[in-house]
Structures are given as structure tokens and as C-alpha cells.
Chain A
Amino acid sequence: MSDSAVHRAWRKPPFIRNPIVRWVMLVACVGYAVWALYTLPFDWDRVAQGMERAARIFSGAFPPNFSRSELLIDGFLESLKIAIVSTLLGVLLSVPIAFMAARNIAAKPVYLLGRGLIIFARSFHPVIVAILFVKAVGFGPVAGILTLTLYSIGFVAKMLAERIEEIDMGQLEALRSTGTGHLAMLQYAVLPQIMPRQIGLAMYQLDSNLRASAVVGIVGAGGIGSTLMNAFGRYDYDFALAITIVIIAAILVSEAVSGRIRRNIW
């Protein structure tokens, strides 16, 4: 009864409990940001000049020029091929690697090897990998396919391994109790559980590879990225804009399609 007269205060507990640590970290973060901005060499004249040049590029780009459409279509189809082939290869290779890299179903040494492969595939940005492959196998789509395959393995195998670690182990236990062999056990108890994620990831990766194939093309790995780079090199800004519009349109379409397919898997 007497309690009701007194208001009891409550505040959400702070994220970092120790007030000294909390304030020191806050001051340190703000301090570093200010110092970093202060010491970076901003040259405002260059920025002003850059604006001028950007204005020239954009005015040169309008209206977009679709007259060399056969170049555009060739480049785009090559990008599409690179994306599809590398997604297929990447997803196929990432399934066994994901099984190796799942803590709950793989023996320790196999697990470490699987994780190692994933870390290796993820450690470099595709552009750096593309530069290496272009040096190794020469300009053209093969370098792009190798790059994006590696990129797909890194992402798909990691996400799939995490999904495998979340499976219902009861289904595995049931099959173990019937004396099922190892491979059949993986196929019957694990694969059906991860199938929706597997398909979703493949769709997402196709989407992502289409985007990335334009980027790695810029360093010479084939596809529409190479076409775009050539257009810039020849100051054909209107053609470059046309290419950019096609890329954006393709990505919008693939985004819509993959989103729709992923929604319909249950």
C-alpha cells in the first residue's frame, strides 16, 4: 500500500555497464574521427575541379546512345553467361564444402579444412581475385568465371554451413538409429532441411554474380564491364550511360525474379 505513493524509477541498463569504460570509449571514438578528418589531405581545389569534370561527363552522357547495340548485347550476354556458369559451379562446389564446414556433422579435422577453404575463398575482394586470374589466364570471360566461382563458394558455403549447424538433429538421430550409411544419412536427413536455403542462396548468388560480373569486367575479366571500360576509355560517355542503364535494368529484373522465387519456396 505505502509503495504505491512512491514512484520507483527504472532506466534501461546501459550497453556498457562500467561508466569509466563507457565514457573513455565514447571520447576515444569521437576523438579519432575528428583527428582522422583533420589529418586526411582534402584538397578543396581538386574537388571543385572534379565537380566541373563530372558535369562535363554527365552532359556528354545525355542522351544515352544505344546505336552500338550489338556491342552492348554481346557484352551483356557474356556477363550473363559468366554469372550463370560461375553460380552453377560455385553452388555445386559449395555444397560439399558446406557439409565439411558444419560443426555438428563433420569430424574436427574435416571441419577445420572446410572452414579453412571458406576463409580462403572469402579473404579477397573479387576485384583483387579477378586481377590475379586475369594475370594467370589472360583477358576474357574465363578469368571472370574463375573469380566469381571462388566468390560464390565463399558466400554460399559459409551461409549453407551455418544453416546446417541449425538443423533439427532429431531427424539425423532417427536415421542413425535405422543403421543408415553416412552418405544416405546426409542426403535424407540434412539435405531436405537445407534445401529451401540452398535454392534461396543460389538465386541470391546469381543476382550478386550478375552485378559482380560487371565489376570484374572492368579489370579485364570479360563481360559488360569490359565494354563499359572501353567506352570510358574512348570518352564515349553517351554509350557508357547506355551500358549503365542496361546494367541497372538487368539487376532490377533479376532482383524481382529471384525475390519472387525465394518467396515461393517453403
Chain B
Amino acid sequence: MLKISNLVKRYGNGEPVLRDLNLEVPDESVVSIIGASGAGKSTLLRCINRLVEPTSGSIELNGVELTGLRHNDLRHARRHIGMIFQGFNLVDRLTVMENVQCGRLGYIPYWRAALRRYPAEDIDRAFHLMERVGIAHYADKRADELSGGERQRVGVVRALMQEPEILLADEPTASLDPVSSRQIMELLQNLAAEFKLPVLINIHNVNEAKEFTQRIVGMRFGRLIFDGTPADLDEQAMGEVYSGTQSEEQGEGKTPSQPVVS
């Protein structure tokens, strides 16, 4: 259970990127976060695992307040928060197995990491998860030899290796072709059910959001302005989430009647 209340993030003295944001995500639910670029979606996810430092407000994960943690406490909390990135963020020059084991680095002592002496149960778990997503035969390949969809699977397995209590996915499909993109969304949906995980997905592709998630949250200018089922997201709601921004970006004078959704 993730509970965000009154979250504010401001970079320097500028306009706040997140304004007084409230969001509750119960266990075992997949939530899509949609919104135009710059609406604060990425910042929101990164506030949860403190890659970005929130300015004020509270973020609670299964009863643990995350905003005040420091040093080792923060590291220990991060171990339970899996993250999947738009650019995969794999270590290109390491093997798939080493990349997958990166998810365990918070748990094992440094000498094991340094000498690649991973605990036997971690190796078992890695093979098990890699088989689950269909990349076990790549264990000894270098990460940069894989295709985009395969790399994102490595990213997913890395996050699952953490035995996470929540998964954060920041545009997980934006660098992928349509087919791999759908496969990854399907995978995230299934894994959420299998591991009973809450999953937060930032996504630009509204059609995929509607198809693969039960709940959609719309952000605009750092606020949640929509929260409902895919069926609730009608044209009017879409307009509220996306209106104005498109024309500003393209420097046009008038608001397009229908937002461009790809």
C-alpha cells in the first residue's frame, strides 16, 4: 500500500513541479499515470524512491515513511522499491546475469559483489525469473547485444530480483517498437498479479494505458486532475489532461480540438 499525501516538489526557487499531490495505491493494482511532458510524472516516481528529494509532504510505503530516511535507512528502503526505466539503464558492458544481480547489490556484502560470488539462492532466483520472462538463454551475453524488448525484460528482472514491495516504471515502453511495447505492458500486468505488487507506470501511450491497466491517473501541472477507470477516461477528461500543452509546445495559437495520442 502506497500512500502519498500533500507532496510538493520544487526545484530551486522555481515553480513547483508537484503541487500538493495526493495518491493512494492499494496492493496488487496497476496504475497508469498519464500527462503531457513536463506534467511531473517522472518527478513523482523519482520522489517515491528518493532519486529526487521531495520538498514537503509524506510518502508512506506499507507503513514506512520514506521522506525522512537517511543513509543506510534510505538504502534499505530503496531495496524494496523496484524501478524500470525508459532507457533501460542497464550496464551495457556487463553480462545479463550481472545486470540482473544488480537488483541484489543492496542485500549482499561488497566482497561478494566485487568478486561476483553471488549467493546460490540469488542465482537460482535469477534463472527462475529470467526463464519466466524468456531471457534465460542470454545469461552470459553482454547487455548491449540484446534488442530493446529483451533489454527491458532484463530491466524488469533486475527490479524483481529486489523482491520489491512496489514497482515504478518510468515510460517503460517509450523506447520500444509497438510489438515489444505491448509485450512489456502485458508482462508488467501479469507480474503485478503474480507477485501481488502495486505497479505505477508512467506512460505516454494512452491506448496501452487503457488496455493494460485498471486505473488511470491523469496529471497536469503537478496536480492529479483525473483518477478513474479506463472507461471513465472520455474525450472531455482527455482534453483536461492534455489541452493547451500540445499547442504551446508546437507554438501554435489555438488549442487543438483533439489531443494527439499515439
A187 and B51 in contact, given A177-B81, A178-B103, A192-B94 (Cβ under 8 angstroms): no
Could you tell me if B98 and A188 are in contact, using CB atoms closer than 8 angstroms? yes
B12 to nearest A CB, angstroms? 18
Q: Does A14 contact B (CB under 8 A)?
A: no
Give A193 to B143 CA distance when docked, in angstroms.
13
**Interface segment out of the listed A167-175, A200-208, A241-249:** A167-175
- Please give the residue numbers on chain A whose beta carbons come within 8 Å of chain B beta carbons, in ascending order: 168, 170-171, 173-181, 183-185, 187-189, 192-193, 195
B63-80 with Cβ < 8 A to chain A: 74-79
Q: Would you call B105 an interface residue if the criterion is a C-beta within 8 Å of the partner chain's C-beta atoms? A: yes
Closest to A185 in B: B105
A171-B89, A175-B102 known; A184-B113 Cβ under 8 A: yes
Interface string of B92-104 (1 = CB under 8 A from A): 1110001000110
Interface pair B81/A181, CB less than 8 Å apart: no
Closest B residue to A187 by beta carbon equals: B114
Q: Is B212 an interface residue (CB 8 A)?
A: no
Q: Which of B49, B91, B93, B98 is the one whose CB lies under 8 Å from A177?
A: B49
Residue on B nearest A179 in the bound complex, by CB = B106
One of A179, A192, A195 near B75 (C-beta < 8 A) = A179
Chain B, interface size category, equals: 20 to 34
**A-contacting residues, B37-59, CB 8 Å:** 49, 51
A177 with B110: in contact, given A184-B105, A188-B94, A188-B105 (CB under 8 Å)?
A: no
CB-CB under 8 A from A180, the residues of chain B are 75, 102, 105-106, 113
Is B87 on the interface with A (CB-CB < 8 A)? yes
Asked whether B90 is an interface residue with its Cβ less than 8 Å from the other chain, the reply is yes
Count, A-B residue pairs, CB within 8 A: 82
Whether B113 contacts A192 by the Cβ 8 Å rule is no
Q: List 28 A-B contacts (CB under 8 A).
A: A168-B92, A170-B85, A171-B89, A171-B90, A171-B91, A174-B85, A174-B90, A174-B158, A177-B78, A177-B81, A177-B83, A178-B83, A178-B105, A178-B162, A179-B75, A179-B79, A179-B105, A179-B106, A179-B162, A180-B105, A180-B106, A180-B113, A181-B106, A184-B114, A188-B102, A192-B92, A192-B94, A195-B93
Q: Are B93 and A193 within 8 A (Cβ)? A: yes
B83 touches A184 (CB 8 A): no
Distance A184 CA – B155 CA, assembled complex (angstroms): 18
Which residues of the partner chain B approach A192 to less than 8 Å between Cβ atoms? 91-94
| A178-B89 contact in complex given A184-B114, A188-B102, A188-B113, C-beta closer than 8 Å | no
The smallest C-beta distance from A169 to any residue of chain B, in angstroms, reads 9
- Bound-complex Cα distance A193 to B92 (A): 8
Taking CB atoms, residues of chain B closer than 8 Å to A179 are 74-79, 105-106, 162
Let me know if A181 and B75 touch, CB within 8 A: yes
Interface string of B159-178 (1 = CB under 8 A from A): 00010000000000000000
With the chains together, A192 CA to B77 CA distance in Å? Answer: 26
Q: Whole-angstrom distance from the CB of A56 to the nearest CB of chain B? A: 58
Residues from chain B with a CB closer than 8 A to the CB of A171 are: 89-92
A170 to B79, CA, bound (A): 17
> Across the interface, which residues of A come within 8 angstroms of B91, CB to CB?
171, 174-175, 188-189, 192-193
Q: Which residues of B contact A175 (CB under 8 A)?
A: 91, 102, 105
A181 touches B105 (CB 8 A): yes
Q: What residue in chain B is nearest A170 (Cβ atoms)?
A: B89
Query: Once the chains are docked, how many angstroms separate the CA of A187 from the CA of B76?
Result: 19
Q: Is the CB of A181 within 8 A of B110?
A: yes
How far is it, in angstroms, between the C-alpha of A173 and the C-alpha of B98 when the chains are bound? 16
Asked if A178 and B158 make an inter-chain contact with CB atoms under 8 angstroms apart, the answer reads yes
